[in-house]
Copies of this chain bind each other. A is one copy, B any other.
Amino acid sequence: MAVVQAGMLSVAEARARILAGLRPTAAEIVPLAEAWNRVTAAPVTARLTQPPHDVSAMDGYALRAVDGALGATLRVVGSAPAGHPWDGTLGQGEALRLFTGSVMPHGADAIVIQEDVDRDGETITVREAAAPGRHIRRAGQDFAAGDVLAPSGKRLNARDIGLLAAGNHPWVTVHRRPRVAVLATGDEIALPGEPIPRGGIVSSNAHALAALIRARGGDPMVLPVSADDVTMLIEGARAAEGADLLVTTGGASVGDHDLVAGALQTSGLVLDFWKIAMRPGKPLMAGRMGEMSMVGLPGNPVSALVCAILFLLPAIERLSGLPGDPPPVSEAILGTPLPANDHRADHLRATLVADGSGPPVVTAYGRQDSGMVRVLAHSNALILRAPHAPALPTGATVDVIRLDLLGL
């Protein structure tokens, strides 16, 4: 673990402390059609065997392999489209017209595909010799009744939805979407399109965080902006009642006007207040108000979003029933040199170019001021710089968080 300044937590320590206070949401039942991107709260097992019988894998003819030599002629005794099994037993010299998915008839042990026969009225002539078992999908080849199709704690993708459908599940037991309330605070901020106070700015945190929460499968609830006023802050926190997690922005610093901690403590908040050895961002609050967990992010929009990626995303995943892993880190090659780092872990906004062959190349923006929302929006990667990391030349390998792959 990287050495950090006394009194400061590392990023990993802070994340572990936040996660330790979180439990997955309760289970609910959703229709399969609504289960995409939800996290299973119980294993899902197959309710049937697939395929239920031996079936044809191709359009063609079922026959006895011994009858299917090159040049053999067979009599077509019927047709069994998928969904319309043929009840007879295939005899010597007989063939049955089949299609992909058709149930194999009794007596047959081979398929010749339609491209490999000449058909003339009710007879076929074999143009490629049949082989026993060829083009037959055996009963249970895909899965058997009782097989686990999805374990508990799996986020369901489109292919999982298909598999659960095939396993005959119209409903799925999943964790409730975490409800995450967002409370932006500050006398100086106004929502987009509303009158901006003198010396004020437009608030970007609440809606950026709501989008990020939605992108991770959470259910955001954006509360009205709170001024730096104890009464308003307490009201804001009360409005979050019923949420699994309250996220505040602003007021987590040590300035005279950072009231959030004090106000919320009078409302029953049990609070941890941390300085984290990182940049952008440093102050972070974490705590609990009754059943609701709370994370206090910096007010600076770049710090708020970077801290959200590092701390809030794993928290949402943990609430969703997933482990809450840190954002995935991969390697890239520096496109320009980097100076040595100080005692705080840095997260440099950067542009990464990956052409699919060889490692991607990543170049940090020249200006890393945390006031630059546009630079963050236009970055597709964060370069991770450990505390006291040495200067690095062009071409050196660095760790990055790829924002493009996170869909954030």
Contact = CB atoms under 8 A, between A and B. Distances in A.
A207 interface: yes
A188 B377 CA distance: 50
A359 to B, nearest CB: 8
Interface string A300-341: 110001000000000000000000000011110000000000
Interface stretch (A7-15, A16-24, A30-38, A286-294): A30-38
Interface string A124-140: 00000000000001000
Copies of this polypeptide in the complex: 2
Nearest to A100: B300
A221 B158 CA distance: 15
A248 interface: no
A157 interface: yes
A234 B100 CA distance: 23
Interface string A71-112: 000000001111111000000000001011111000000000
A48 to B, nearest CB: 7
Interface string A209-242: 1111011000000100000100000000000000
A43 interface: no
B301 A166 contact: yes
Contacts of A390: none
Interface residues on A, range: 35 or more
Interface in A177-206: 186-189, 191-194, 196-206
A377 B149 contact: yes
A264 interface: no
A279 interface: no
A195 to B, nearest CB: 11
A181 to B, nearest CB: 14
Contacts of A211: 35-36, 156-158, 161-162
B166 A202 contact: yes
Given A32-B192, A162-B205, A165-B202, A142 B197 contact: no
Given A51-B371, A81-B228, A369-B57, A255 B192 contact: no
5 smallest CB-CB distances across A and B, nearest first, come from A83-B188, A162-B208, A170-B193, A83-B187, A85-B199
Interface of A: 32-33, 35-37, 48, 50-53, 55, 57, 59, 79-85, 97, 99-103, 114, 137, 141-143, 147, 149-150, 156-171, 186-189, 191-194, 196-212, 214-215, 222, 228, 253-257, 299-301, 305, 328-331, 354, 356-358, 369-377, 379, 399, 403, 405, 407-408
